[in-house]
Amino acid sequence: MSLPQKALPPKYFYDANGSRLFEAICRLKEYYPTRSELSLTRRHLAAIARFARKGGTLIEYGSGESMKSRLLIEALRPSAYIPVDISEHALRNAAATLRRSFPRLDIHAVHGDFSQPLTISMAHGEGRRVVYFPGSTIGNLGPAEAQAFLRMTRSQVGPGGAMLVGVDLRKDANVLHAAYNDARGVTAAFNLNLLARINRELGADFRLRRFRHYAFYNAALGRIEMHLVSLGRQRVRVGRHRFDFEAGESIHTENSYKYSVEGFGALARSAGFRAKEVWLDRKGWFSLHGLVAA
Ligand code: AVJ
């Protein structure tokens, strides 16, 4: 917030209210990624299961609602399922629902930030480790950070371990634009909730009506950018800090990188993975990459 371009990390979107709003985004007709990924997972489930192999340990980053996890668990029958999420609320709910559906599965929920190295207890699960990272959450990272993240994950799965990564693809900018500027304003509410959360948790005085959601596709960088734009000159207090805004000045709240299939494959290889498989939905809008630790 003190840099020339004010910025906040997107991981802070997901308090209980933010997680609920994100789930509402996933149900919007404009927000295609959730549906595209679900349909490609259904369509290619047998091949995905052959790639990931049965009986190993399935670790999921940013599990959220765990809709697709259910499909994977049924197909892979892992020895353990380890969901990791920054939102305690979403994590507990998802784990409880899955426990009811799979009473004999060893489910070990880890409340944590997977952007930091995690130590996942060897006591859980056996066999090959497979990290499932769906939803194009990796798009929140820039290419260099994504490479570092993939390297860290590769060392976590160990030699012969695998990763299944959901990656949103480059496409008509109008489709991208609509997905982040929905008619009902749910994405706007999700973005603005970050300020409400700061007010609540850090004793700040953001006036939400003095900021507006702004999202656009930056074609040169291949990413959607989300901002909160100040509608006028104003000063905001956060605890004992003061931040001044010019009219039109923004807080950059999120990047959502979009890749080509080849581009993501090259990134994965540069992080020490073999990019073995890639599955697409019918429209070719979303991809799931099967990577093996080289
Ligand atoms: C959860 C990071 C994949 O980038 O599409 C949705 C978050 N932000 N609408 C995305 C998001 C605005 C989402 N990810």
Ligand 1 atom index nearest CA of 224: 4
What is the share, in percent, of the chain residues with pLDDT greater than 70?
Answer: 97
Find out whether the beta carbon of 36 lies less than 6 Å from any atom of ligand 1.
no
Coil, helix or strand at residue 207? coil
Spatial distance between the Cα atoms of 157 and 262, rounded to a whole number of angstroms: 23
Q: Does ligand 1 lie within 6 Å of residue 182's CB atom?
A: no
Assess whether pLDDT exceeds 70 at residue 122.
no
186 CB near ligand 1 (under 6 Å): no
Which residue's alpha carbon is at the smallest distance from atom 1 of ligand 1? 137
Look at residue 123 and tell me whether its pLDDT is greater than 80.
no
Does 137 sit in the ligand 1 pocket, CB within 6 Å? yes
What is the CA(126)–ligand 1 centre distance, in A?
Answer: 32
CA of 256, closest atom in ligand 1: 4
Token readout for 202 is 């850090």
Taking only the tens place, the pLDDT of each residue in 70-118 is 999 999 999 999 999 888 888 898 899 999 999 999 999 999 888 888 7
